């Protein structure tokens, strides 16, 4: 079984009538994701690509009790409210695509979700895809992914597609690919996802795509130090040329006070036996070296 | 969004954090008038957002009106660390007995608010953080319960304040939290918080507002519309288009889609011996118009010798990107060599549009980056 999303995933789309929400509902359906309902306040009774729309999550869950996962496309000023609504209605897995959620709201939301035992992926993330089961809860392009045995976890979007496609073309398909999001505060972090991959029988090796800023990579390295490298991991870190103190797009990608530099992350990874590719394409060479179960 | 010292101090005053008496001036004459109001000695402080302002001559003590004139005219005419100075703050000089450090920010790994405080405040706080981390105390505030009396007691005790000073510091600690929440700040810092003969005084302010929250703070978003806030002309243009743009020291312009991919593009250029002139992320789903604007922005940058465009079409369509490139190159008079890497969504159409315009492109990012370095520094 892959992680987070699989063939048992039954999805609710929050913000289904918006531009992004309606477009990706169609694309996810085509890919194979089972979407039973959508919500959009005031738009109850409509349908989007044949998916019924409700005013509230409660109503959607009452009518479709099998729903167990939600994806949120709701605009930033209202996104937190949408996630609280899903948590309140008892949904335990929520993927938040929305970009630009205020930091303080995010902080409270993530703390609350943790208290309630709810898994949040994101915010500001491309979502999760499990190619072997043809389930996608996200916005990533299908072409980058093939079924296989590699778990990929990343803080970025396009760079993940890029690396996944290179691996797919080289014969390294994926069990699950998780974009945890580029904001300073995220629900799932590298450690959570790597731990899930370690416990997943279908995943034989892990690729971590990190970037400068924060200390998620350094913390993953100390986690590996304590539990051991239970499966081979290879990595790429973006932002080696970033000068200290400059923000590089992602709210997350900032180096300050000597923390979070590419150098410190690469050193941390290498010290626990995780080799770091010097270019995105070099990931393929590392995969050939480290993932030797035969392709 | 970073606030200037005077903006931060205005907020401090509103929240009863004591600051020195002073006034803001936009010209040398005004600075002199403010100095006469404040009295001598006074301090003239350039209002710029760069760090290390004091060491770069942006803070000067003045004992007479001539000193004020000299300091202010130097700041207004020369700027500080390459940044033009539009305003100076003229403040009373105070007798400092001791300097403390106190701030509140967000600890992203703990997912919590955190107070940082130290008995060793002042200009070297970053060095102390690096070499003597135990000299900085940390008190975490769970966002679900907010600031409580016990948090405040812990901070006050840790810095050893007693009596009236403890009472005053208690108020400052609470005010920092209130400001953090009220203004959606991601950092509120007082460094130094000075113990003077008049009690505690915030001698400087550092406030950063969370950009994602600006939509609900018209007081800041209105300011941003008319104020360039130390940005270069390119940065202002990029801001108007909503690009993430960072100017760097090199000479190869870089455009990518997605922050991670764009950073990786910079790294690739450096890997093959080039120097990136910038970081420019056009974001997801960019149409031709945006691509065109991004390319023009780099073409008008005199330092840029060549441009590397690295696009992986996920949501973004390659045909839109190609169209934007072709339009920018045909409309803009400055000709510079470009190296394009294009794969993904509608790659074939994009490729055809480029070919018809006589622009070659790559599908492999390493080949494209190597080519960019080659055309920038001679060759071909």
Domain boundaries, chain A: 11-121, 140-290
pLDDT band at B129 (very low <50, low <70, confident <90, very high): confident
Compute the distance between CA of residue B260 and CA of residue B317 in angstroms, rounded to an integer: 18
CA distance A177 to chain B (A): 15
Largest CA distance in chain A: 56
Strands A174-179 and A147-154 turn out to be parallel
Find the mean pLDDT for residues A125-147. Answer: 96
pLDDT digits (tens, 9 = 90+) for B289-318: 999 999 999 998 899 999 999 999 887 899
CA distance A44 to chain B (A): 28
A162 touches chain B (CB under 8 A): yes
Residue B209: strand pairing partners? B185
A239 touches chain B (CB under 8 A): yes
How many Cβ pairs within 8 Å bridge chains A and B?
A: 169
According to CATH, what is the number of the domain A11-121? 3.40.50.720
Q: Are B267 and A162 in contact (CB under 8 A)?
A: no
- Which of B 147-176 lie inside 8 A of A, CB atoms? none
Compute the distance between CA of residue B257 and CA of residue B248 in angstroms, rounded to an integer: 18
Q: What's the CA angle centered on B266, arms B352 and A126, to 5 degrees?
A: 70
pLDDT digits (tens, 9 = 90+) for B212-268: 999 999 989 888 877 788 887 888 888 888 888 988 899 999 999 999 999 999 999
In what helix (H) or strand (E) does residue B244 lie, and over which residues does it extend? strand B244-247
B365 touches chain A (CB under 8 A): yes
- Which of B 94-153 lie inside 8 A of A, CB atoms? 106, 108-109, 111-113, 126, 129-130, 142-144
Q: Are A147 and A117 in contact (CB under 8 A)?
A: no
Q: Which two tokens stand for residue A174?
A: 């994926």
pLDDT digits (tens, 9 = 90+) for A12-41: 999 999 989 999 999 999 999 999 999 999
In what helix (H) or strand (E) does residue A148 lie, and over which residues does it extend? strand A147-154
Compute the distance between CA of residue A197 and CA of residue A210 in angstroms, rounded to an integer: 16
Strands B278-281 and B244-247 turn out to be antiparallel
Catalytic, out of B100, B101, B177, B183:
B101
Residue B237: strand pairing partners? none
- Does the distance separating the beta carbons of A143 and B113 come in below 8 Å? no
Any residues with CB less than 8 A from the CB of A23 and at least 6 apart, and which? none
A140-290 matches A11-121 in CATH topology: yes
Give residue A259's pLDDT.
59
Q: Which residue of A has its CA nearest to B128?
A: A257
Compute the distance between CA of residue B329 and CA of residue B300 in angstroms, rounded to an integer: 12
pLDDT at A249 over 60: no
Specify the CATH class of B233-376 in words.
alpha beta
CATH superfamily of B96-218: ATP-grasp fold, B domain (3.30.470.20)
Find the mean pLDDT for residues B346-364. Answer: 93
Burial string for B69-106 (b: 16+ CB within 10 Å, else e) reads bebbebbbeebbeebebbbbbbbbebeeeebbbbbbbb
Annotated catalytic residue B189? yes
3-state class (DSSP) for residue A214? coil
Closest CA to A274 of A226, A220, A212: A220
CB contacts, 8 Å: A184 with chain B: 106, 108
Query: Which of A104, A162, A257 is facing B312, going by the closest CB pair?
Result: A162
- Does the distance separating the beta carbons of B364 and A77 come in below 8 Å? no
Give residue B108's pLDDT.
85
According to CATH, what is the number of the domain A140-290? 3.40.50.261
Give residue A255's pLDDT.
45
- Does the distance separating the beta carbons of A241 and B267 come in below 8 Å? yes
Count of CB atoms situated within 10 Å of the CB of A53: 22
According to CATH, what is the number of the domain B21-92? 3.30.1490.20
* Percent of chain B that is helix, strand, coil (3-state, to 5): 45, 25, 30
pLDDT at A178 over 60: yes
Q: What is the pTM of this model?
A: 0.93
- Does the distance separating the beta carbons of B181 and A143 come in below 8 Å? no
> In chain B, what are the domain boundaries?
21-92, 96-218, 233-376
Percent of chain A with pLDDT over 90: 87
């Amino acid at each position: 079984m892959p992680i987070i999303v699989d063939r048992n995933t039954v999805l609710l789309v929050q913000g289904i009538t918006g531009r992004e929400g309606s477009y990706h509902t169609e694309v996810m359906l085509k890919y194979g994701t089972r979407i039973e309902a959508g919500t959009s306040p005031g738009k109850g009774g409509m349908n989007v690509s044949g998916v019924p729309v409700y005013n509230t999550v409660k109503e959607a869950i009452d009518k479709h009790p099998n729903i167990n996962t939600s994806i949120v496309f709701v605009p930033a000023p209202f996104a937190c409210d949408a996630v609280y609504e899903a948590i309140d209605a008892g949904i335990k897995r929520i993927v938040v695509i929305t970009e630009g959620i205020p930091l303080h709201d995010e902080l409270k939301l993530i703390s609350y979700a943790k208290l309630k035992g709810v898994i949040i992926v994101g915010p500001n993330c491309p979502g999760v895809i499990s190619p072997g089961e043809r389930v996608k809860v996200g916005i990533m392009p299908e072409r980058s992914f093939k079924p296989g045995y590699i778990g990929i976890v990343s803080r970025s979007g396009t760079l993940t597609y890029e690396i996944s496609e290179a691996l797919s073309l080289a014969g390294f398909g994926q069990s699950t690919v998780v974009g945890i999001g580029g904001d300073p505060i995220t629900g799932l972090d590298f450690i959570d996802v790597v731990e899930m991959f370690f416990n997943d029988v279908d995943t034989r090796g892990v690729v971590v795509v990190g970037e400068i800023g924060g200390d998620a990579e350094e913390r993953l390295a100390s986690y590996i130090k304590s539990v051991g490298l239970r499966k081979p991991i290879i990595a790429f870190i973006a932002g080696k040329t970033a000068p200290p103190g400059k923000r590089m797009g992602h709210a997350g990608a900032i180096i300050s006070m000597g923390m979070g530099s590419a150098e410190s992350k690469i050193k941390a990874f290498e010290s626990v036996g995780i080799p770091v590719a010097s270019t995105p394409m070099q990931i393929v060479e590392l995969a050939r070296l480290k993932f030797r179960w035969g392709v | 969004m970073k606030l200037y010292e005077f903006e931060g101090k205005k907020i401090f005053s509103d929240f009863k954090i004591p600051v020195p008496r002073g006034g803001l001036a936009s010209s040398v004459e005004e600075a002199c008038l403010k100095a006469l109001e404040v009295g001598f000695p006074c301090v003239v402080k350039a209002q710029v957002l760069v760090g290390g302002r004091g060491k770069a001559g942006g803070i000067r003590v003045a004992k007479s009106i001539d000193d004020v004139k000299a300091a202010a005219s130097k700041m207004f005419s020369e700027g500080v660390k390459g940044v033009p100075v539009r305003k100076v703050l003229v403040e009373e000089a105070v007798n400092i007995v001791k300097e403390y450090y106190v701030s509140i920010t967000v600890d992203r790994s703990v997912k919590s608010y955190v107070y940082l405080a130290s008995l060793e405040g002042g200009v070297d706080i970053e060095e102390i953080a690096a070499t003597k981390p135990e000299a900085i105390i940390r008190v975490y505030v769970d966002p679900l319960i907010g600031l409580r009396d016990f948090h405040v007691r812990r901070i006050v005790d840790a810095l050893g304040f007693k009596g009236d000073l403890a009472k005053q510091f208690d108020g400052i600690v609470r005010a920092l939290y209130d400001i953090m929440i009220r203004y959606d700040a991601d950092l509120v810092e007082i460094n130094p918080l000075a113990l003077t003969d008049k009690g505690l005084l915030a001698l400087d302010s550092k406030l950063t507002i969370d950009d994602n929250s600006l939509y609900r703070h018209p007081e800041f978003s209105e300011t941003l519309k008319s104020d360039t806030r130390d940005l270069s002309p390119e940065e202002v243009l990029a801001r108007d288009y909503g690009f993430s743009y960072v100017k760097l020291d090199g000479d190869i312009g870089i455009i990518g889609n997605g922050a991670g991919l764009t950073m990786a593009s910079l790294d690739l250029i450096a890997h093959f011996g080039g120097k990136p002139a910038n970081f420019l992320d056009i974001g997801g789903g960019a149409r031709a118009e945006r691509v065109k604007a991004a390319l023009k922005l780099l073409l008008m940058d005199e330092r840029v010798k060549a441009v590397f465009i690295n696009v992986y079409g996920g949501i973004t369509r390659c045909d839109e990107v190609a169209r934007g490139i072709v339009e920018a190159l045909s409309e803009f008079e400055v000709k510079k060599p470009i190296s394009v890497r294009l794969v993904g969504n509608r790659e074939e159409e994009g490729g055809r549009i480029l070919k018809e315009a006589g622009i070659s492109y790559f599908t492999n990012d390493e080949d494209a980056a190597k080519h960019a370095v080659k055309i920038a520094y001679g060759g071909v």
